Structure 1
Amino acid sequence: MNQSVININETTNHFYGLIWKEVQIPMRDGSYLAANLYQPDFPGEFPVLITICPYGKDLHFSQFAPINPTIAKEYSQLQDKGPLLSWETPNPEFWVPQGYALLRIDERGIGNSPGKLDILSESLKRDYYDAIEWAGNQSWSIGKVGLIGISYLAMSQWAVASEQPPHLACIVPWEGTVDYYAEFCYPGGIQANGFLSFWWKNGILPRQYNPDKKFSEEQLIANRVEFPEMVKNTPLRDESWIKRSADLSKIKVPILSASNWFSAGMHTRGNFHAFQYAAAENKWLEVHIGSHVAGFYTEEGRALQKKFLDYWLKGIDTGLMREPKVKLAIPRGGKNYTWRYENEYPLKRTQWTRFYLDANSNRLTKEPLPRMTSQDYEGDRDQESASWLKPMRKVFTKAEDSSKRVLFETAPFEHETEILGPIKLRLWASSSTDDMDIFVSLRNIDPQGNEVVNSGALSEAFPISKGWLRASLRKTDEKRSTEYKPYYTFDESQKLTPHEVYPLDIEIWDSAIVFDKGHRLLLEIGSQSQCGCFMLETGDDRIWDADVTIYTGEKFESYLLLPIIP
C-alpha cells in the first residue's frame, strides 16, 4: 500500500488529502480486491463511500473507451474535470473535502484485483459485501458505508443491497438497471447484442487483470466468463439471471433512486421499478433529463446527493425527511423542463386514458371503434447488422420508407396536456411466421408536422418513449402485472401460429412530456428499431422475415393507455 499527499483542489490550493494506493481488501475465499482509498488529511473517523466496477480504478474519465465518441462529448459537458475524476464514479476532489472517505475498488479480475472476471455475477455480490464490511470495520471509519455511482456502479448497488451487509447504511443508484435480463440484455425479450459486444470489448476487456502483461490471450480467455456469450446462450430468464440480479424485497436500506425520462432501453425502467417495489421504508425518487452522467456532477446534482448522504451517514438534519419523496423534471421538449415535487409514483391523480387505434383512418381516438379494420407492414429483411457507432436517425419524418411501419396520431390537443408515468400498448396482431419483433415509439408532433425531440441520456433527439416485444415471449405474470404495466416472465417461448391473431400487451417505458396546444401524439409501430436507443439499434438477433398485420375495432380493441395528469 502506497501513501501520497496530493493537492485535491488545484484551483484554490486550500485543501490537501491523502491517497492510499493499492489497498488490498481481503475476501472470504482468501483472495483480495485492489482499491484506492481517498481520505481527508486530518484526524478522525469518516463515513465511507464505495464504488466497485470493471472500468479500472486508476483510469481517468476522459480515457474510458476512447473509441466511443460520446465519452469526449460527455467529458466536455462536465463542470468538473479534475485529475482524480473517473468514469461514472463520485469524484474524491469534491467528496473528501466534505468529510467523506472514498474507496474506489477494482472488481475481481480487473486492474490489480486477481481472480476470474465474471461481471454482474453472484460472486460480485459476495465481493462487494466483503468490501463493505471491511470498510465498516476500519479504524478510520465511523462504521457507516454508503454506495453511490452511475450505470454499472448503480446496478451493482441494487444487487449487493439485497444481500443486506450490516455496515451498509444507504445507496444512491444513479441511472442503474435492476433486472439484468429484461432491462439490460433482453429488453422486450430481444437481445441487445450490438451494444453488449462493443461494451465488453472496449469497456471491460482492456482492464482485465494482467499483471505486467505476462498472460497470454489463451490465459486471459480461460480466466473470464465471456459475458456476451453467456447472454447469447441464456435467452430465457432462468434461475441464473435471477441470482445475478437484485431481490428488491430484501433491499431495506434508504434509497435515493435517480432516473432519466429519456433513456428507454437502458436504465430508465430499473430506477422506477426499484423505487416502487424495494422493501425500504425510506426511499426517494429523482427523475431528470439530458446527459447520462453530466447531471451527477453538477452543483444541483451533488447538493441532492449530499443532502441524502449527510442525513443517513452523518446524522445531520438536512431537511430531507421534511421534503416530498419524489422530485420530477417536467419536460416540454428539447432541454426545457421545470422541477415539481410529488408524494408518490405513479401519481395518484393520474387519469388512465385509452386511445383506441383505428387502422382505417390511422387515428388514435378515445371512442372504441364499431367495426374491425386492419393494416399491414413488412418485416425488416434488408436491414443489415451494424455497429452501434453508426449515426442514429435524428428526427422522425413521414417521408421515410413506410412499408415497415404504421403510424397512428391523435387529433391536435385542444389544450396543454401532460402525460407522466408508465405507458402500455394493447395490440392485436398476427404474423406471417411463427414469431415477430415489434418496435414502438411515441413522438410529439408540432402543428407543422415536425417532431419535437428531447434531450436524453444518450441522444439529443430522443422521442417521448419506446417499447419492444418479441411476441413468443409475451407471457406475463398476472400477479405482478397491472392494468398499466405488463410484467413479462420471459421464462417460456410460446411460438405463434402464422396468421392467427394474438393480443399483445407491450410495455412502453415510463416517460413524461407536456404537449403544447395544437400538438399531436404519434404512435409508430414497426419492424425496425427506431431512433434514440442504442441498445436495440444494432445486433443480428432479430425476427427478420415476419410480415405483421395489426387489427383494430370490434373484438380487436387495440389501444394505447396513457397516464394523463389533470
Structure 2
Amino acid sequence: MNKCNIDINERTNHYYELTWEEVKIPMRDGNYLAANLYQPKAEGKFPVIMTMCPYGKDLHFSEFGPANPNIAIEYSRSQDKGPLLSWETPNPEFWVPQGYAVIRVDERGIGKSPGKLDILSESLKRDYYDAIEWAGTQSWSNGKIGLLGISYLAMSQWAVASEQPPHLSCIIPWEGAVDYYAEFAYPGGIQANGFLEFWWKNAILPNQYNPNGEYSEEQLKDNRIDFPTVVKNNPLRDKTWTNRFADFNKVKVPVLSASNWFSAGIHTRGNFLGFQNAASEYKWLEVHIGSHVGEFYTAQGRALQKKFLDYWLKGLDTGIMKEPKVKLAIPSGGNSYKWRYENEYPLSRTQWTRFYLNASSKTLSKEAPKSKEMICYKGDKGQDSKYWPKPFMKKFSKNENSSKRVMFETTPFESSTEILGPIKLHLWAASTTDDMDIFVSLRNIDPLGNEVVNSGANSNEFPISQGWLRASLRKIDDNLSTDYKPYYTFDEEQKLIPSEVYPLEIEIWDSAIVIPKGNRLLLEIGSQSQSGCALFTQTGDDRIWDADVTIYTGDEFDSYLMLPIIP
C-alpha cells in the first residue's frame, strides 16, 4: 500500500490523507480486472468515483500517446497536476481529500488485466457492470457509485448506464460519443480511418496486456479483436454497432452531460443526444469551448462536477437541483465566451431561418432565387492514398479560384447575431459517378476577409462547425428527424444514377457563435476536408475520390442553409 499526502487549494469541509493499492475485481466469468483503488485513510464508508478504459491505469498523463505532441501541451496547461494524474481520468489527488474513493480500472486485455482485448464491445458493458457492483458492496463503500471521465471514458459511461447496474448512482460523461458508428467511426457515413488507425496504434496497442513483455506479436494478435478491421468490415450501422452502445431508453440515472461546441467530427454530437434522449428524470447539459481535456481539470470544471457528485453520491444540498438544466458557453471567437443558463436545448425561442444558396452570385440570402442555376466542383482524381487535410486557410473569398470546392457567403450582418443549436444544409446535387462524399464547413469572416476562428477541442483554429455525408447513405429516419436536424439510418446503401439530381439533408453539427455586425457567414462545400481539424481525417482506402459534383439552386431546387438564430 502506498501513501501520498496531498495539498489542495480548494476550500473543503474535510481533509483526508490518500492511500492506494492495486486490487483484483472479480468478473462473472471467473476472470478479474486489475484496478488502482485510491481512498481516504480514515474510518467510514465513502462514495466511489470509477473509470474503466484501455489507456493503462498506471500510465501518467504526461506519458500518454507519445506520438501526439499535444499531450505534453495539455499537461502543461492543466490546472490539475501530480504523480497520480492519468489521461482523461479524474485525479485522485483532488477527489480523495474531498472524501471520495477513486477506482481506476484496466479494461479486459489492457495493462494488468488479462483476457482478450475487445474495445467498445458488449463484453465491456458486462465487465463494467460487474466492477460497479463489486465496488458498491465493499466495506469501505457507501454503496453509491458515480462515473466521471473524458472521451472513451465517457462513451463507456453511456453504455454501462443502459445496463442499469443497481449501485450506479450517476454519470458525468465529458465530451464522449454515444453512437460509435455515426460519431466515431463513420461520421456522415464516411470512414474516419485516419484517426482510428492512429489512435489504435498509438493509444491502445502499447497498453495491451503483456505480462513481463513475454508475449510474441503473434500471441498479442491472437489475444485481441482488431478494432480497425471491425470498422472496415462493418460499413453499415447494423447490430455489430448498435449492440455496442447505449440504449437511451434504459439510461435512467442522473446525468451531467458535458459537450464542446468546437469538436465536430467526434466529441460534440453525442453529449447533446444523450441529454435530449436519455430517460433520466434528472439531467443537465453543460457546453464549453477550448481544449479537449482542459475544461475538465479547471477549477470551474471541477466545481461543477463536485456540485453534481456531492448531491447524488453524498446527499449534500449543493443547490444543483435549483439550477437551470442547461449551462452554455456563448462564444464570440477565439477563447472569448460568456456563460449563460437556459432551461432546454435546443432553445425554445430559436428562430429557424433559411438562407438560400444562389449558384449564380455565390451568395446566401433569405430570399430564394427564382431561376435555376448550377455550379460545379471537381473530385480528387489521383489523390494520394494517405490524404491529410490541407493547411488551414486564413483568407476566404467566394470568387477564389478553386476547382475542388465552392463557397457561398452572406452580405455583412447589419447587427450582432447569435447562432446557437443544430444546423442543416438542404442541398440539391448530382454526381458524375454512382456516389459522392460531401464535406461542408461554416465559417465566420471579418470585414477584411479573415476568418474568425475558435478555440476547439483539437485545434485553436476551428470554424463554426462542419458536416459530412456520403450520398449513398442519405436515407433518413423519418421518426427521429426534424425540420432542422436529419438523422440517417445508415443501414442501406442507395447508389446514385450519374448526373441525376438528388436532394440531400446534410447534418452540420451543433454549434454556437455570436457574429459581430459587419461580419459575414461563409459556407464551403467541397470534395475534401478543409476543416483545419486534424482529428477528423479521411484517408484514401474508403473515399469517393473521383466524383465531380454539380450543385443546383433556384426554382424547384431549394438548396438552403438552416440556421438556429437566437433573438
The one-letter amino acid paired with 2:374 is S
Tell me by how many angstroms 1:15 deviates: 5.6
Contact 1:6 1:16 in 2 (8 A): yes
Task: For residues 338-360 of structure 1, give each alpha carbon's deviation from its aligned partner in whole angstroms, at most 9, with x where no partner exists.
Answer: 00000000000000000000000
Q: Distance in 1 between matches of 2:2 and 2:127?
A: 27
Report the equivalent of 1:158. Answer: 158
Q: 1:264-275, aligned counterparts within 5 Å?
A: 264-275=264-275
Report the equivalent of 1:38. Answer: 38
Contact 1:395 1:453 in 2 (8 A): no
Are 1:523 and 2:536 an aligned pair?
A: no
Q: Distance in 2 between matches of 1:81 and 1:369?
A: 57
Q: 1:239-278, aligned counterparts within 5 Å?
A: 239-278=239-278
Tell me by how many angstroms 1:401 deviates: 5.5
The one-letter amino acid paired with 1:235 is P
Report the equivalent of 2:87. Answer: 87
Q: Distance in 1 between matches of 2:410 and 2:401?
A: 21
> Residues 472 and 240 from structure 1, CA distance in 2 versus in 1: closer, same or farther, beyond 3 angstroms?
same
Over aligned residue pairs, what C-alpha RMSD do you find?
A: 1.5
Report the equivalent of 1:559. Answer: 560
Report the equivalent of 2:4. Answer: 6
Report the equivalent of 1:52. Answer: 52
Tell me by how many angstroms 1:380 deviates: 1.5
Tell me by how many angstroms 1:382 deviates: 4.2
Tell me by how many angstroms 1:386 deviates: 3.6
Q: Distance in 1 between matches of 2:391 and 2:151?
A: 22
Tell me by how many angstroms 1:249 deviates: 1.0
Q: 1:187-206, aligned counterparts within 5 Å?
A: 187-206=187-206
Contact 1:188 1:470 in 2 (8 A): yes
- Specify the SS of the correspondent of 1:244: coil
Are 1:411 and 2:443 an aligned pair?
A: no
> Residues 318 and 374 from structure 1, CA distance in 2 versus in 1: closer, same or farther, beyond 3 angstroms?
same
Q: Distance in 1 between matches of 2:186 and 2:9?
A: 45
Contact 2:266 2:536 in 1 (8 A): no
Report the equivalent of 1:393. Answer: 392
> Residues 75 and 382 from structure 1, CA distance in 2 versus in 1: closer, same or farther, beyond 3 angstroms?
farther
Q: Distance in 1 between matches of 2:147 and 2:29?
A: 23
The one-letter amino acid paired with 1:477 is D
Tell me by how many angstroms 1:72 deviates: 1.2
Report the equivalent of 2:380. Answer: 380
> Residues 380 and 123 from structure 1, CA distance in 2 versus in 1: closer, same or farther, beyond 3 angstroms?
same
Q: 1:43-442, aligned counterparts within 5 Å?
A: 43-386=43-386, 392-393=391-392, 395-398=394-397, 402-442=402-442
Structure 1 unaligned blocks of 5 or more: none
- Specify the SS of the correspondent of 1:427: strand
Q: Distance in 1 between matches of 2:335 and 2:109?
A: 40
TM-score, normalising length: structure 2: 0.97
> Residues 306 and 152 from structure 1, CA distance in 2 versus in 1: closer, same or farther, beyond 3 angstroms?
same
Q: Distance in 2 between matches of 1:257 and 1:10?
A: 26
Contact 2:8 2:94 in 1 (8 A): no
TM-score, normalising length: structure 1: 0.97
Contact 2:177 2:184 in 1 (8 A): yes
Task: For residues 360-404 of structure 1, give each alpha carbon's deviation from its aligned partner in whole angstroms, at most 9, with x where no partner exists.
Answer: 00010101111100000000224324476x884253534976110
Contact 1:397 1:450 in 2 (8 A): yes
- Specify the SS of the correspondent of 1:305: helix
- Specify the SS of the correspondent of 1:52: strand
Q: Distance in 1 between matches of 2:182 and 2:376?
A: 28
Task: For residues 133-176 of structure 1, give each alpha carbon's deviation from its aligned partner in whole angstroms, at most 9, with x where no partner exists.
Answer: 00000010000000000000000000000000000000000000
- Specify the SS of the correspondent of 1:356: strand
Contact 2:473 2:493 in 1 (8 A): yes
- Specify the SS of the correspondent of 1:123: helix
Structure 2 unaligned blocks of 5 or more: none
Contact 2:16 2:98 in 1 (8 A): no
Tell me by how many angstroms 1:530 deviates: 1.0
Tell me by how many angstroms 1:50 deviates: 0.3
Q: Distance in 1 between matches of 2:270 and 2:215?
A: 37
Are 1:491 and 2:491 an aligned pair?
A: yes
The one-letter amino acid paired with 1:542 is R
Tell me by how many angstroms 1:67 deviates: 1.3
Tell me by how many angstroms 1:11 deviates: 9.6
Contact 1:7 1:17 in 2 (8 A): yes
Task: For residues 20-73 of structure 1, give each alpha carbon's deviation from its aligned partner in whole angstroms, at most 9, with x where no partner exists.
Answer: 12x000000000000000001111100000000000000000000111111111
> Residues 536 and 6 from structure 1, CA distance in 2 versus in 1: closer, same or farther, beyond 3 angstroms?
closer
Range moving further from structure 2, 536-545 or 187-196? 536-545
Q: Distance in 2 between matches of 1:5 and 1:296?
A: 25
Contact 1:28 1:130 in 2 (8 A): yes
The one-letter amino acid paired with 2:564 is P
Q: Distance in 1 between matches of 2:423 and 2:390?
A: 28
Tell me by how many angstroms 1:267 deviates: 1.2
Are 1:549 and 2:550 an aligned pair?
A: yes
Q: Distance in 2 between matches of 1:452 and 1:240?
A: 41
Contact 1:111 1:210 in 2 (8 A): yes
Contact 1:311 1:317 in 2 (8 A): yes
Q: Distance in 2 between matches of 1:401 and 1:120?
A: 44
Q: Percent identity between the aligned chains?
A: 73
The one-letter amino acid paired with 1:9 is D
Q: Distance in 2 between matches of 1:387 and 1:303?
A: 42
Task: For residues 230-268 of structure 1, give each alpha carbon's deviation from its aligned partner in whole angstroms, at most 9, with x where no partner exists.
Answer: 100100001110000111111000000000000000110
Q: Distance in 1 between matches of 2:109 and 2:558?
A: 53
Q: Distance in 1 between matches of 2:58 and 2:354?
A: 52
Q: Distance in 2 between matches of 1:19 and 1:424?
A: 50
Contact 1:158 1:178 in 2 (8 A): yes
